[in-house]
Structure 1
């Protein structure tokens, strides 16, 4: 990608800041027109920097997703593969449930895997979480056939279901624990 002019770089940074605030307030479907007005640019400028809503969402959440990916890499060497995977799943669930718009971005990523994106939140999380899932599976900690895609789908579902809960972090954690433990009592 060629270097941007200084004014284009400023517009890009301003649009990201305004979009992050709008998404935190109004969710993933925040008005692109309002973002442009608030940033003091035209809607064409928004579209030049972010050709799709998904591209904007991905840019807004890039730092958060990179932090979650770094956490997965940190946990990969942990002795207890089950604890490492659960730690990461809880971190991703908490972020997706409490950062308005992130779960929607992850869901939309999955809905259109053929869309060409410079950066893909779901692909990044899948790549980062893959080693944790493979290690837990090889240690016999996971039900055979469970994939990192399955777990990210579960997390986004939990996050979307708890988005409007008075305490989404607590409720999403409770639901993840329920999913991990199962809801049937062991047969005796």
Structure 2
């Protein structure tokens, strides 16, 4: 690792602290983010071993984290898009990307040309994402609709990636976003779907 790269990776700022506070990222997950940032250049693929992070934690605090807590703080970074998993080799070894802070900020709204005193709706603050839940060491993948309300991220469960109905609903949501429908309209569409578009017991990370 070059000296310049090291300086970039260690450039933790007050903005990083603010992001952690705003998204309720716990101190342990924050430490994992900092540790991952030191492994390689930001946005470059790395293959960290969480056991090595835990060994470092044990040296600093006298005791490492439990298996389940390690997975919990890792998932917290995944959920907040701080890291993107490219490939998983085991429960503790991954190929992943650490995202730069600028990438995590909500995109700036572009000025829209007014037409008949109406402004084209913005649809860059809501999206469909794919996520996974681990049960009995097996991964289960799902879709959910997400949107930003200020700095708060909201979610509505769509369904399993293996479900044809869920894939249809995912396509319908993506079409609605492209057509300029608002998050309340799309949320109403999903929650009004009697085929199971919304479930109060939806899987979560």
Both proteins in one fold, TM over 0.5: no
Query: For the pair shown, which has the larger CA radius of gyration, 1 or 2?
Result: 2
Q: TM-score, normalised by structure 2?
A: 0.29
Structure with greater strand percent: 2
Structure with greater helix percent: 1
Relative contact order, higher structure (CA 8 A, sep 6+): 1
Q: TM-score, normalised by structure 1?
A: 0.31
